[in-house]
Amino acid sequence: MKHVIVPMEERHLAGLAEIERACFHAPWSENALREELGKGIFLVAVDTQGTPIGYVGCQTVLDEGYITNVAVLPQYRRCGVARALLQTLAQHAQAQALCFVTLEVRASNAPAIALYTEAGYVPVGKRKNFYRAPTEDAVLMTWYRTSADTQEA
């Protein structure tokens, strides 16, 4: 499955809103996504025609990163898209000297937890009843920049 990871641009927003609707109970709107343009690290996986098939959003505060969403269209899952998004995000986080990047994931979402673990995220806590529909705890997972990462950046 051929795809390229690019920074989010205005032209991606309608496609990202579609991804949101396909992936989440409470999707972000196109306008909410537009508000993130030029902020943080928002990366889009596009297919060979330039159509968005997945994305990762990471808001940044000083030297910290907070992933808002990782989403891939259902038909493109298990094709390496999310893995590529997380790897590219780590490169951007290193280049921006972020000390860590953290996220929440549903406690029952074993495939996502495995993906994040493979990408270097470690469980650091829980948020009780964080998710709705259904109500569920979130596992907090964090990627930490290491001294080796700092030397490579």
User: How far is 61 from 64, CA to CA, in rounded Å?
Assistant: 5
CA distance 72 to 86: 12
> Hey, what's the torsion of the CAs at 120, 46, 32, 117, to 10 degrees?
-10
Per DSSP bridges, beta strands 122-131 and 136-144 are antiparallel
76 is catalytic: no
Q: How many CB atoms lie within 10 A of CB 88?
A: 18
Active site residue 18: no
Options 36, 104, 121, 131, the catalytic residue:
104
Catalytic-role residue among 20, 55, 116, 131? 116
Omega within 30 of 0 (cis) for the link into 74: no
Place of tokens 């001294």: 147
State the catalytic residues: 104, 116
